[in-house]
Amino acid sequence: MTEKISRKKVLRNWKLRDSFDLGLISSAHGMSDGFSNLMVPVLVLIVAEFSLTPVQSGILLSSLSLSVLMFQYPLSIYSDFTGRRKAILLGGMLLATISYLFVGIISSFYFLLLITFLVGAGNSVYHPCGTSMVARRFEENRAFAISIHGLGGNVGMAILPVLMTFFAVFLGWRFAVVICVLPTIFILYLIYLRFSEVIDKKDVQKLNIKEILRDVFRNKRVIILAIAYMLRGMCTKGTVGFFPLLAASRNIEIQLIGIAISIHFVLGAISKPLMGYLYDRVGARCALMVPFFIAGLLVFAMPFTRTPTELIVVFVLIGAVSHVSPIILTATADFADEKVLTSSVGFIYTCHGLNFISPLIGGVIASEVGLDSSYFFYSFCMLLGLWYVMKIKD
């Protein structure tokens, strides 16, 4: 375990192949994160086609997160136990991609739920395995690599909504999904070629399940990071997930909704290298306190916006301050024991996966009180996360 975090100011021993490999794995991260919210920009079209209620919309948004919650931690433990992180990542992402391809032929809301569940099951392997692969592959430049890797996730989440809305307008939302996920197959093939099994099996130790769980759950700093990231995820999952419905209630067109979601994630992508820099300079607690506080206030302000422009501006600014994964993940890599790194990251993302309850709660609040009121709950989640962040000891 790294007790004292090294503050690196320059890249060490960086070569062209490192840039290519980091760009490649970051592209895969972009597809993985894009998968998580792929159908959000066209939620209005899905609601109209299947005549969904707000509660059903919340169930649809939650089904993927529920399957992630179910499969992510067991698979991350299995990854540490076997050392086959690359094989597990490739297999899971391929399952998610193939599942999305079936969207083109489904005719029932319940089949759509099944597809999103399978996507979540496959996609659940990416973050623990991908983050561990990056942390091991770029050990000398860990904070930088994890920040760029995180940026790749936001780039994917920024580009895919624009592509989804563009293709949905001309071809329908079903074909838009198929077109957007197909490049993943080529990216996975390149990862298969570039990331060797030698790196994948580095420092693998044959621990039993009990030892892995003990080492993870005894690490108080990892536990605090997991809780804070879970609360942040509950806030952003609901805030982004229900934004199309909130925007539609303000008479904002679907194309503009997709653009707003893209800008939200573009600003998140731009901010991620800054998040990594802040972590290197001031540590986890100070680097997390400010974005948690600002994001909580901005989410609280969303129901009070009076014009479409104000709503969009507040929403995109949330993207600039809420994407704190470089800090969370680099801190986890530094705080965790190396031999259970994948399991520690898996625990972080499993707790984050509890955000599946956020759209459900938001849907109930929207049905009983009103959609605007759901955002007060999301703001509370972020500010509660701030309280936990203040407990971190660097």
CATH class of 16-389: mainly alpha
Q: What is the DSSP-derived secondary structure letter of residue 4?
A: S
Q: Which long-range contacts (CB under 8 A, 24 or more apart) does 299-303 make?
A: 299/235, 299/239, 299/375, 299/378, 299/379, 299/382, 300/375, 300/376, 300/379, 302/239, 302/246, 302/372, 302/375, 303/372, 303/373, 303/375, 303/376
Produce one character per residue of 141-158: b if its CB has 16 or more CB atoms within 10 Å, e if not: bbbbbbbbbbbbbbbbbb
* Residue 372 vs residues 142, 245, 298, 358: alpha-carbon distances, Å: 41, 10, 13, 14
Q: What is the DSSP-derived secondary structure letter of residue 13?
A: S
Amino acid at 195: F
Query: pTM for this structure?
Result: 0.72
CB 324 within 8 A of CB 232: yes
CB 324 within 8 A of CB 350: no
Residue 393, classed as helix, strand or coil, is coil
Helices 308-322/284-301 angle, 10° precision: 170
pLDDT at 192: 92
**C-alpha to C-alpha distance for 300 and 317, rounded to whole angstroms:** 13
**C-alpha to C-alpha distance for 354 and 157, rounded to whole angstroms:** 20
The DSSP string of 364-382 is HHHHHT-HHHHHHHHHHHH
Beta-carbon contacts of 308 under 8 Å, excluding residues fewer than 6 positions away, are 247, 250, 251, 252, 256
Cα dihedral sign, 16-85-68-64: positive
**C-alpha to C-alpha distance for 384 and 295, rounded to whole angstroms:** 12
pLDDT of the chain, 394 residues: tens digit per residue:
444 444 444 456 777 888 899 999 999 999 998 888 788 788 878 888 888 887 788 788 778 878 888 898 888 888 877 778 889 999 999 999 999 999 878 878 889 899 999 999 999 999 889 988 888 888 777 778 888 888 888 788 778 878 888 888 888 888 999 999 999 999 999 999 988 765 555 555 556 677 778 888 889 999 999 999 999 999 998 999 889 888 988 888 877 888 898 889 888 878 888 887 888 788 889 999 999 999 999 999 999 998 999 999 999 999 999 989 889 988 988 888 777 777 888 888 888 878 778 888 988 898 888 888 899 999 999 999 999 999 998 7
199 CB burial (10 A radius; 0-12, 13-18, 19+): middle
Q: What is the DSSP-derived secondary structure letter of residue 218?
A: T
3-state secondary structure 231-298: HHHHHHHHHHHCHHHHHHHCCCCHHHHHHHHHHHHHHHHHHHHHHHHHHHHHCHHHHHHHHHHHHHHH
Boundaries of every domain in the chain: 16-389
**C-alpha to C-alpha distance for 212 and 344, rounded to whole angstroms:** 9
Which of 40, 44, 47 lies closest to 236, judged by CA? 40
Structure tokens given for 103:
């969207």
* Residue 144 vs residues 134, 222, 281, 337: alpha-carbon distances, Å: 10, 20, 12, 20
Instruction: Please count the CA atoms within 13 angstroms of the CA of 132 that sit on its side-chain side.
Output: 35
Instruction: Please count the CA atoms within 13 angstroms of the CA of 50 that sit on its side-chain side.
Output: 20
Q: Nearest 5°: phi and psi at 373?
A: -70, -25
Instruction: Please count the CA atoms within 13 angstroms of the CA of 25 that sit on its side-chain side.
Output: 30
**C-alpha to C-alpha distance for 209 and 83, rounded to whole angstroms:** 14
pLDDT at 6: 43
CB 43 within 8 A of CB 195: no
CB 150 within 8 A of CB 278: no
